[in-house]
Amino acid sequence: MRISASLSLAVLALATFTASAQTPAKAPTKTPAPPQVAQTPPMGWNSWNYFADKVDDKGVRAAADQLVSTGMKDAGYIYVNIDDTWEGERDANGVLHTNAKFPDMKALADYVHSKGLKIGIYSGPGNKTCGGYAASLGHEEQDAQLYASWGIDYLKYDLCSFIGDVLEKQAPNDPAEQMRIMQAAYVKMSNALKATGRPIVFSFCQYGWDAVWEWAPGIGGNLWRTTGDITPHWDRIYAIVSQQEGLEAYAGPGHWNDPDMLEVGNGRLSLAENRSHFSWWAILAAPLLAGNDLTKMKPEIHDILTNRDVIAIDQDKLGKQGSRVYSDGEVEVWTRHLAGGALAVGIFDVGDSRYSTHPFHLNLAKLGLHGPQTGKNLWTGKPITLTNNQPLTLDSHDVLLVRIDAPK
């Protein structure tokens, strides 16, 4: 199949070449460029991390209102994403209906759009979603058309029951075949979304299986989860961050590694931990999908989520994901290369006790820097100079995040 397909492509290319060599060139017909989504990591809000199955129409409207009134929209948070538990039953024609929590999805989408925001939704390739609601198996085209008719702009597609429903039934004990079937399921929905003609961000959620970063971009994935679920705990956040090593090569405009949605403002994370979490996501060029209750956001959490300097690191046009350069005891130094030759440096105290590796002496040469570097401390907003061997003290789980515009 493959050989004959590429042979016929070669024949076609030759025929085209011969034809164009013999006949005068026609005026180029104008075809509109395909709409480009996720040129920078998607930003917005998602219902799951705080509301889980309590999400409803009213809560989504409130989140949209808050994105506008808190200035988060102006800071770049555009997508209002409904996660699992919106789904009802399919009718005799296979058309999926919403459940009682979402009386009119089209009206909700119109409301979100009227605020200058975009709206996202959730499904999966299996029979059921992770929460046990109806998913898209056998109804992919129908569901994609339904989303488009509502005006949906973003789809998170979660593997979940596909594992038991399909993979383990169709290919028991054959992991390689299971991975092929899983990829085909994502291709199917990708094509179904494309066929709607509507630009829809496609978010893969299959927890990083089968090195998804290697194949997702080629089949229309705009972002893909790299790990299991996040929780609002330092240990979980740090474990996820540590699993991103080596993935930086796979991210770029239109296609991003997704270490999961933000927990900033959730649980009992300290302010230092919230700052570190947000700083890491910016260095990792991660999607910034706030996961807190925006109606009850404390000012200090608002200030973290709307820190424009840190958001600018995340949204940097170069789209180059950063990485951990070195660690010394319990202090880690991360960098991200930015457009125009700038550099973000994040120094994280990952130790549980403030004095574990303190004072920490910064080694600029390890970052490829020579001599004093002037920059901006992005969490105080003040100028800072980093020098070689500089002793730095950081609170436990806190971060020093610096932008150096002209590194030497």
Please tell me whether residue 348 binds ligand GLA under the rule CB under 6 A.
no
Out of 141, 165, 210, 229, the only residue in the binding site for ligand GLA (CB under 6 A) is 229
Nearer to ligand GLA by C-beta: 84 or 349?
84
Looking at residues 150 to 179 of the shown chain, list those that interact with ligand GLA (rule: CB under 6 A).
158
| Interface characters, 198-217, with ligand GLA (x: CB under 6 A) | -------x------------
Please tell me whether residue 65 binds ligand GLA under the rule CB under 6 A.
no
Q: Minimal distance in Å, beta carbon 348 to ligand GLA?
A: 25
> For residue 391, which phi and psi values (nearest 5 degrees)?
-80, 130
Q: Are 266 and 291 in contact (CB under 8 A)?
A: yes
Residue 286 has a CB neighbour count (10 Å cut-off) of 27
Residue 131 has a CB neighbour count (10 Å cut-off) of 18
Nearer to ligand GLA by C-beta: 76 or 131?
131
Nearer to ligand GLA by C-beta: 157 or 348?
157
Q: Strands 118-123 and 79-81: what pairing?
A: parallel
338 DSSP 8-state letter? -
Smallest Cα–Cα separation from 48: which of 259, 238, 297, 230? 230
Nearer to ligand GLA by C-beta: 207 or 215?
207
Nearer to ligand GLA by C-beta: 290 or 364?
290
Using alpha carbons, list the distances in angstroms from residue 33 to 36, 67, 201, 240.
Answer: 8, 30, 16, 37
Nearer to ligand GLA by C-beta: 158 or 314?
158
Please identify the residue of the shown chain whose CB is closest to the bound ligand GLA: 130
Residue 8 has a CB neighbour count (10 Å cut-off) of 10
Residue 315 has a CB neighbour count (10 Å cut-off) of 18
Please tell me whether residue 223 binds ligand GLA under the rule CB under 6 A.
no
Decide if 158 is catalytic: yes
Q: Residue count at the site for ligand GLA (CB under 6 A)?
A: 9
Please tell me whether residue 48 binds ligand GLA under the rule CB under 6 A.
yes
Residue 95 has a CB neighbour count (10 Å cut-off) of 13
Please tell me whether residue 258 binds ligand GLA under the rule CB under 6 A.
no
Please tell me whether residue 263 binds ligand GLA under the rule CB under 6 A.
no
The residue from 84, 143, 153, 158 that is catalytic is 158
| Interface characters, 111-140, with ligand GLA (x: CB under 6 A) | ------------------xxx---------
Smallest Cα–Cα separation from 362: which of 388, 383, 393? 388
The Cβ-side half-sphere exposure at 81, using a 13 Å CA radius, reads: 33
| Lookup result for tokens 């990708």 | 190
Q: Based on DSSP, count helices (H) and strands (E) in the chain, helices before strands.
A: 14, 18
Q: Is 143 helix (H, G, I), strand (E, B) or coil?
A: helix
Report the side by side order of strands in the sheet with 201-205: 256-258, 223-225, 201-205, 154-158, 118-123, 79-81, 43-46, 288-290
Nearer to ligand GLA by C-beta: 240 or 312?
240
Please tell me whether residue 398 binds ligand GLA under the rule CB under 6 A.
no
Please tell me whether residue 87 binds ligand GLA under the rule CB under 6 A.
no
Q: Minimal distance in Å, beta carbon 7 to ligand GLA?
A: 43
| Lookup result for tokens 């076609």 | 12
330: tokens are 């319990």
Find the Cα–Cα–Cα–Cα dihedral 179, 180, 181, 186, rounded to 10°: 90
Smallest Cα–Cα separation from 81: which of 183, 235, 202, 190? 202
Q: How far apart are CA 320 and CA 248, in angstroms?
A: 7
Q: Is 9 helix (H, G, I), strand (E, B) or coil?
A: helix
The residue from 53, 65, 229, 309 that is catalytic is 229
Q: Which residues bind ligand GLA (CB under 6 A)?
A: 48, 83-84, 129-131, 158, 205, 229
Active site residues: 158, 229
